[in-house]
Structure 1
Amino acid sequence: MSIIWFLLLGALAGWLAANLMQGRGFGFLGNMAVGVVGAVLGGFLFRMVGVHGGGMMGSLVTAVVGAIVLLFLVGLIKRN
């Protein structure tokens, strides 16, 4: 059951990040992938600076921040 929550959280994080980045989304499955990868990236980045959030809201914030960073990096790569 936790994998379903992880994927739903990833989908929500990807959707939020795409909306915050002015429509840089990739559809439902693409946003889910961005959110899941963003969750991993956000967790890594937050650990590097010594920040950790607990619970569902902390996980969502971590995933959204990671997804925003990921979308920003993808945007930089696409421009070149």
Structure 2
Amino acid sequence: MPSIDQVVVWIVIGVLAGSLVGRLITWKKEGLGLRRNLGLGLSGALIGGFLFRLVGVFPNLDRVSVSLRDIVAAVIGAFLVLGAYWYANRESR
């Protein structure tokens, strides 16, 4: 079970990852918009962080407060959330 400080790190990194992914997807400076960037990043960081811990990806990088694993997990998690969002909207049309 991750500690509360690790979850806070996931959230902060997630906000940055959501903004990055939003900008990469739309090729606009504002990305998907503030709320969607934040939601995408937060959910992506939490999902990516839990998945990376569960699978054991980069286990030796835990000793760093903001590890490379946290950043990579947040970005990959944001892409997973975005893919699920697009898939759900595709099915509803």
Q: Shared fold (TM-score greater than 0.5)? A: yes
Q: Is the 8 A contact 1:12 1:35 kept in 2?
A: yes
Residues in 2 aligned to 1:14 and 1:73: alpha-carbon distance in whole angstroms? 15
Structure 1 position 38 matched with structure 2 position 44:
yes
- Per-residue CA shift, 1:4-35, capped at 9, x if unaligned? x6654222100222234x22x53122211211
Q: How many residues align?
A: 77
Residues in 2 aligned to 1:6 and 1:51: alpha-carbon distance in whole angstroms? 15
Compared CA separation, residues 51 and 35, structure 1 to 2 (3 A):
same
Partner of residue 16 from structure 2, selected from 12, 16, 26: 12
Structure 1: gaps (5+ residues): none
SS at match of 2:76: helix
Residues in 1 aligned to 2:69 and 2:14: alpha-carbon distance in whole angstroms? 13
Q: Is the 8 A contact 1:11 1:29 kept in 2?
A: no
Compared CA separation, residues 40 and 8, structure 1 to 2 (3 A):
closer
RMSD: 2.5
The runs of at least 4 consecutive aligned structure 1 residues that moved more than 6 Å come to: none
TM-score (norm 1): 0.73
Q: Which has the larger radius of gyration?
A: 2
